[in-house]
Amino acid sequence: MRAARNRVSHKHFQLDSAKIRHAQRVLRAKTETETIERALDAVINEHRRDRLAMEANECFIQSGIQIKDVFGKLKK
């Protein structure tokens, strides 16, 4: 999900180079720019997943379903 060229802007940041190198290895990115792009995409996607999970949880709770604690592990 790369930004369209007309939406790319030139920015200057002071970032921890060790963190960038580590993220670059984890994300298997070739350049620092690609690393930052992939990291931003990952954060955005995680936020979307979290929001969808929260919405699904709300629907589940509102459904009024009864949960049986067959293993006795749930807190009362």
Per-residue pLDDT tens digits for 3-45 = 556 788 889 999 999 999 999 999 999 999 999 999 999 999 9
Is residue 72 included in any domain, yes or no?
A: no
Range of the domain at 51: 15-61
pTM, two decimals, is 0.70
**Residue 35: Cβ within 10 Å count:** 22
Residue 34 neighbours by CB under 8 Å, 6+ apart: 24, 27
pLDDT interval class at 1 (50, 70, 90): low
Per-residue pLDDT tens digits for 38-67 = 999 999 999 999 999 999 989 988 898 887
Is residue 3 included in any domain, yes or no?
A: no
- Tokens coding 51: 């929001």
Rounded Cα distance between 46 and 49, Å, is: 5
The total of structural domains in the chain comes to 1
